[in-house]
Amino acid sequence: METVDKFYKKYENIAQTAKYMVDGLDEGILPDEDLCAHLISEALHNAPARWTGLVSEKTDGMTLVKMTKEHFFSRKQSSRLLFEQIRKGKSIKRLTCIIMSRVRVHRVTKQENIDLIPFQQDDNYKTWQQEYKAAGINLVKYVRKNSYTYYVGDKKYDSSKQISDEYGISTAAVNHRCDTHTAKFAEWKRIKNG
């Protein structure tokens, strides 16, 4: 089965590297498990983040670029989990799925990200949901503001991607057709929301 995630290979490479490290540790080739776990946690930190689509209520009015990506799973604990799963004989595919889960992020304010730290380091909080609640962070589904509604003839679309998928053209081509004021594309329109 082929995956559609464009970063799958990067996540899989981390899984394979973790496997090589655990094999090396268990065979006595690598002497320091803490160092290996740290290196994998750094790899998780540098891996492409997978956004959940959730943002803090306090980010209202901020652009996505101004929001902080908050890794809600501890990378240190995630590297230890990977090592544990490797020792239980889990496949590279399963390890890759764990990594893809563990590199997920929510978007919060910079201050909220800082405010979360004491709760994330406190063993009394067992889940990220408990940590967020203690830090007073409420998550909501992100709704794009100042976006466009698209029309091709009488059919309405919420995004250029929907049209792109339906017509088999790029989103840039969709936007070009909507912005072109020629008879050929007279039925293609986009209207700014808000």
DSSP 8-class letter at 72: -
Higher per-residue pLDDT: 46 or 191? 46
Confidence label for 149 from pLDDT (cuts 50, 70 and 90): confident
Identify the CA nearest to 30 among candidates 17, 49, 45.
17
pLDDT the model gives residue 146: 56
CA atoms within 13 A on the CB side of 133: 7
CB 72 within 8 A of CB 16: no
Express each pLDDT in 24-68 by its tens digit: 999 999 999 999 999 999 999 999 999 999 999 999 888 888 999
Cβ atoms of residues 72 and 105 within 8 Å: yes
90-95 — which CB contacts under 8 Å span 24+ positions? 92/12, 92/15, 92/16, 92/19, 95/15, 95/18, 95/19
Query: Residue 170 phi/psi, 5° resolution?
Result: -75, 160
For the chain, the structural domain boundaries read: 8-141, 148-192
Instruction: Tell whether pTM > 0.85.
Output: no
The structure tokens listed for 46 are 């540098």
- Work out the burial of residue 38: count CB atoms within 10 Å of its CB; fewer than 13 is exposed, 13-18 middle, 19 or more buried: middle
User: Out of 49-53, 117-121, 171-175, which region has the weakest mean confidence (pLDDT)?
Assistant: 171-175
Taking all residues of the chain, what is their mean pLDDT, rounded to a whole number? 92
